[in-house]
Structure 1
Amino acid sequence: MSATTASTSVPARDGLPSPQRAHAMLVIILGLAVSVLDGTIVNLALPGIARELNSDASHAIWVVNAYQIATLVMLLPLASLGDLVGYRRVYLIGMVLFTASSLVATFAHSLGMLIAARALQGLGAAGLMSVNSALVRLTYPRAQLGRGMAINSMVVATASVAGPSVAAAILSVASWPWLFALNVPLGILVLVLGAKSLPVNEPAAHSGRRFSGVDVLLNVLMFALIFIGADRLGVRGDPGQGTGVGAWVILLAGVAVGFIYLRRQLSLEVPLFPVDLLRIPVFALSMGTSVGAFCAQMLSFIALPFLLLEAYGRSHFEAGLLITAWPLAIVFMAPIAGRLIGKYPDGLLGGIGLALLATGLALLATLPTHPSNADIVWRMVLCGLGFGLFQSPNNHTIVTSPPPHRSGAASGMLGTARLTGQTLGAVILAGIFSFWPPHDGKGQVIALSIAACCAAVAAVFSTLRTRQPAPRHA
C-alpha cells in the first residue's frame, strides 16, 4: 500500500493507524524542535561570526533577527496556504527550504549572505510551525489528541531553552558553520520519513477561499514593523538602551498598518488573519489566555537573569542552573496535563496552572534580600509546573475549537499568540528598565510583579472558558 493511500484510508478526524502515527509524530517533533531551536542557537556564536565576517555586533544581530522576523510574518500566510493546498505539502516544502538554506548558511562567506540565508531559513521554519498543530490534529484520534499536544508542549519548552547549551556543546568542538551544517542531514531525514508517514488532508472546497497578495503584504508589514520597533526599544542587548523616538514611530506604524489590515479582514469570508475564529468565544478566550501567559513568561525569563546576576550576585553558571528548574518542571508536568485533557475542562486546567504560575511569580518578586538556592528553585519549580499545566490544555482548545477545515489557521494563530505575547512582554520590560535600571533589583521586582498580574489575568480568561459550550465539530 502506498504512503498516500495509507494516509488517506483513515478519516482525518480519526487519526492515523498506530505504526504510522508514531512515525508521523517523530517527523513533527523533529521539525518543531529544530525550528524552535534555531531561533536561539546562534546567539552564543554572534561574537565569533562578527569577527570572522568582519562586521560589528549591531549588524551581526540581524543573523538572529532575520530568522525571527521571517518566521513571525509568514506564520499566518503559510497556515492559510495549508488550509488551501494541504498541511503536509506546506510542511515538506518548508523543510526543503529550511534544509537548503541551512546548507547556504554553512558556506556563507559574508554577513549579507548569512543574513539572507537565515531569512530563508526562517521562512522554512514558518512552514514547519504554521501547520504543526494541524498535523498533530490529523495524526491523533480525538480521544488521544491531548497526548499529542502534551508532546508538542514538551518539545517547545525544551527546545526554546536548549539553544545556548546545544550551541556551547557544538562550538566547543567545531566552528560556527556547524550550527547550520547539522541541520542538513536532519532535514533530509525528516523529508524522507515525512514523505512516507505524514497525514494527507483533502482541503475542503470553499467559495470564499483565496490567497491575496495584498493581505500577505499587510500581514508582513504589521508584524515586521511591530517586531523591529520592539527590538529597537530594547528587546535585544541591554534593555533600557536605545528607546528613541524612531523606535516608537516604527512600532506605532506597525499598529496603524495592523488597524487597516484587521479592518480589511472583517469583510472577508475566509480571512488571512482569522478574525472569523476570534468570533468563537472559547477560541478568543484561549488566545487571550495564551498571549497573557507568554507575556508573563517573557517578562520573567528576561528579568530573572538580571535579578540573579545583579541583585543576588550569582554567577552565570549558577543563574543558568537555577533558571533551568523552570523548563524541567514544564517537561515533568506536560505529560500529566496531557492525560488530564478530556477528563477535566481545558479551561479549568489552564486556570489552575496559571494561578500556580501567578503565585510562583509573586513569590519570586518577594524573595528575601539574601535568598538561598533552595528559596529560588522551589519558586521556579512552581512556575514551571503551573505553566506546564496550562500549556497543553490551552493548545488543545485552540486547535480543536475551530472547524477541521480551519485547522491551519488555528495552528498559525497558536504560534502567533506565543510570539505576540513574548514580544509584548519584552516591550513592557524595556519600558520598566528605562525607568528602573536593573542594577539594584527594583526593576526586576516590578517586572515579576507585572508578570504575576498578566498570569492572573490569563487565569481569569482561561476559567471563563468553562462557561462556554464545547464546539460540536471538536
Structure 2
Amino acid sequence: MSPGTPLAGAQGKAPPDGLPTPRRYYAAATVLTGMSLSVLDATIANVALPTIAADLNSPPSAAVWVINAYNLAVVTMLLPMSAVAERIGFRRMFTIGLALFTLASLGCAVSGSLLQLSLARMVQGIGAATLMCMFGGLVRNIYPTHMLGRGISINATTVALMSVLGPTLGSFILSVAHWRWIFAVNLPIGVLLMMGLRFLPEVQRNTARMDYVSALLSMAALGCFISGVDSLAQDVLRSLGLVAVAILAGLLLVRRSWGQTAPLVPIDLLRIRPVAFAVMASACTFAAQMSSYVSLPFYFEHVLGRPHLEVGLLMAAWPLGTGLIAPAAGFLSDRYSAAVLSGVGAGAMVLGLLWLVLSPLDASNARIMAGMFVTGVGFGFFQTPNNRAMLSGAPRQRSGAAGGLQATTRVFGQSFGTALVAIAFSLSAAHGPSLGLMAAACCASLAIVVNSVRIARKIGQPGA
C-alpha cells in the first residue's frame, strides 16, 4: 500500500458532529489539562536553570540544553506524530503521549546529571509533541460545528495563560521546594488524566502505510531550520549551513509529498485556500507574539527602568486581554468571516505594539499596561477565528494533520520571532529591545496584509 492510499472510511457514513453532553465536557477537560501540561513544561524550567546548573555541577551555558532538548524534540516530532495519530487513532495516541510525558517527567525528577536530565527532557518533548499534534483535531471532533469557535477560544485562552504562567509557577515551586518538583508535579496530574482517556473521540483512521522517509526529511528540515535561525546571532556560517540543509530537506520533502493523497507534510491541506491563508497569518502573528515576549522584559527593565516585580505585573496585562476577549472572539468566529475578524485582531496588535514602542521613558504603568492589554486583546481576537478557519477548512478525516499543521505553524512562528530578537540584539545591544518590538509590529502587519488578501479574494464568506 502506497503512502498516497486514501483514508479509511472516507466513503462510509459521515462521522458524528461533535460529542454529546456530558461526555463533551469530560473530553474537553482532558484535552485542556493535557494541553496545559505540555505548554507549561516548555517554559516552567527556565527560571530553574541557574539552580539546576549549580546542583548538577554544570556550566550555565550547558544548562540551556534543558530547554533546547525539549523544544527541538517538540518541533521535529509534531508532523510525524500527527501522521501516526491518524493511523492508530487519537485515543490510543493520546494514551501513548501521556504515558511517555509522565514517565519522562519522572526521569527528569530523578536525574543525577545534566546529560540524564537533557535526555529525559528530550523524551518529555517527544511526549509533548505526541499530545500537541492532536489538540486541534480533538477539538474539531469534540465540539459540534456551531460551537467550534467557542471550543477553539477556550483552547487559545489556555495556551496563552499557560505560556505566561510557566515561569511564575516555576518560581513559586522553587521558593517552597527542590527544583526536581518542577518535573515531579506532572506525575499525579498525568495519572489523573488517564481517567479521562475513555471520553476522547475516535476519528476515521488513515490506512496508508507510514512514510518513514518523509518523517525523517521533516525532522531534518524543521530541526535544522530552527537550530539555524537560533544560532544566527552567534555563528553566521554554522547558521547558514543548517538553513541550507533545512531548505534541501524541505525541497526533497515537498517533491516526495506532492502526489500523495494524505501526505505526512499536509500539502493537500495547503492547497485549500482558507487553510493556506490561515497558516501564513498564524506564522506571522506567532512570530510577533514571541518577538514581543522576548523583547518586552528587556524593554521594561533596561529602557523604561522598571524593577522585576513591576515587569511581571506589566507582562500580565497581555494574557489578561487575551483571556477576556477569547469568549467574544469564539462567539463571533462562529458567525462572521475569519479574514475580517483576524485582520481586526492583527491590527489591534500593531496598534498596541506601536503604543509601547512610542511611549516616553517616563510613561506611567497604567499607560504601559493599556498598550499591553490592547496587544493581548488583538492577539486573542486573531487566534480563535484564524484557528477555526484552519481546522474547519480541512476535511474531518484529516483533522489530525490539520492539528499537527496548526501546532507546527505556531512553533515555527515562535522560533522565527525569537531569531528576529537575537538579530536585533546583535545589531544593537542598546536598541535591541526597541528593534525587537518593531520587528514584532512588522510581523503583525504582514498578518494584516495576508488577511486583506483573504478578504479581497473571498469577501463575506465565513472561513475565508
Q: Same fold (TM over 0.5)?
A: yes
1:281-300 mapped onto 2 (5 Å cutoff):
281-300=273-292
2:107 corresponds in structure 1 to: 104
Q: Higher mean Cα deviation, 387-396 or 316-325?
A: 316-325
Contact kept? 2:43, 2:163, Cα under 8 Å: yes
State the SS of the aligned residue for 2:231: helix
1:182 CA drift (Å): 1.1
Residue 458 (structure 1) aligned to one of 443, 447, 451: 447
Determine the C-alpha separation between the residues in 1 that align with 2:236 and 2:371: 36
State the SS of the aligned residue for 1:172: helix
Determine the C-alpha separation between the residues in 2 that align with 1:402 and 1:257: 25
1:191 CA drift (Å): 1.2
The CA RMSD measured in Å over matched residues stands at 2.0
1:239 corresponds in structure 2 to: none
Determine the C-alpha separation between the residues in 1 that align with 2:414 and 2:107: 29
Determine the C-alpha separation between the residues in 2 that align with 1:292 and 1:472: 21
1:138-149 mapped onto 2 (5 Å cutoff):
138-149=141-152
1:167 corresponds in structure 2 to: 170
1:215 corresponds in structure 2 to: 214
1:86-235 mapped onto 2 (5 Å cutoff):
86-194=89-197, 196-203=198-205, 209-234=208-233
Contact kept? 2:277, 2:451, Cα under 8 Å: yes
Q: 1:132-170: per-residue Cα shift (whole Å, max 9, x none)?
A: 111111111111111110110011000111111111111
State TM-score, norm by structure 2.
0.93
Contact kept? 1:401, 1:470, Cα under 8 Å: no
1:268 corresponds in structure 2 to: 260
1:449 corresponds in structure 2 to: 438
Aligned in 2, Cα 1:76/1:197: closer, same or farther, shift over 3 Å?
same
State the SS of the aligned residue for 1:18: coil
Aligned in 2, Cα 1:155/1:11: closer, same or farther, shift over 3 Å?
farther
Matched residues, number? 451
1:421 corresponds in structure 2 to: 413
Determine the C-alpha separation between the residues in 1 that align with 2:297 and 2:54: 26
1:26 corresponds in structure 2 to: 29
Contact kept? 1:88, 1:135, Cα under 8 Å: no
**Structure 2: runs of 5 or more not aligned:** 1-12
Determine the C-alpha separation between the residues in 1 that align with 2:398 and 2:366: 46
1:12 CA drift (Å): 4.0
Determine the C-alpha separation between the residues in 1 that align with 2:14 and 2:141: 9
Contact kept? 2:226, 2:412, Cα under 8 Å: no
Aligned in 2, Cα 1:459/1:47: closer, same or farther, shift over 3 Å?
same
Residue 66 (structure 1) aligned to one of 69, 78, 85: 69
Residue 329 (structure 1) aligned to one of 308, 321, 324: 321
State the SS of the aligned residue for 1:211: coil
State the SS of the aligned residue for 1:14: coil
Contact kept? 1:13, 1:137, Cα under 8 Å: no
1:36 aligns with 2:39: yes
Contact kept? 1:282, 1:468, Cα under 8 Å: no
Contact kept? 2:203, 2:397, Cα under 8 Å: no
Determine the C-alpha separation between the residues in 1 that align with 2:264 and 2:14: 26
Aligned in 2, Cα 1:472/1:390: closer, same or farther, shift over 3 Å?
closer
Determine the C-alpha separation between the residues in 1 that align with 2:121 and 2:458: 42
Contact kept? 2:137, 2:391, Cα under 8 Å: yes
Determine the C-alpha separation between the residues in 2 that align with 1:13 and 1:288: 30
1:468 corresponds in structure 2 to: 458
Q: Higher mean Cα deviation, 463-472 or 174-183?
A: 463-472
Determine the C-alpha separation between the residues in 1 that align with 2:463 and 2:389: 12
Aligned in 2, Cα 1:318/1:472: closer, same or farther, shift over 3 Å?
closer
1:349 CA drift (Å): 0.8
Contact kept? 1:403, 1:473, Cα under 8 Å: no
1:112 CA drift (Å): 1.3
**Structure 1: runs of 5 or more not aligned:** 1-9, 235-241
Residue 318 (structure 1) aligned to one of 299, 310, 323: 310
Q: 1:11-65: per-residue Cα shift (whole Å, max 9, x none)?
A: 7441111111100001000000000000011111111111111211122111111
Identity of aligned residues (%): 40
1:4 corresponds in structure 2 to: none
Determine the C-alpha separation between the residues in 1 that align with 2:281 and 2:384: 12
State TM-score, norm by structure 1.
0.91
Q: Higher mean Cα deviation, 270-279 or 455-464?
A: 455-464
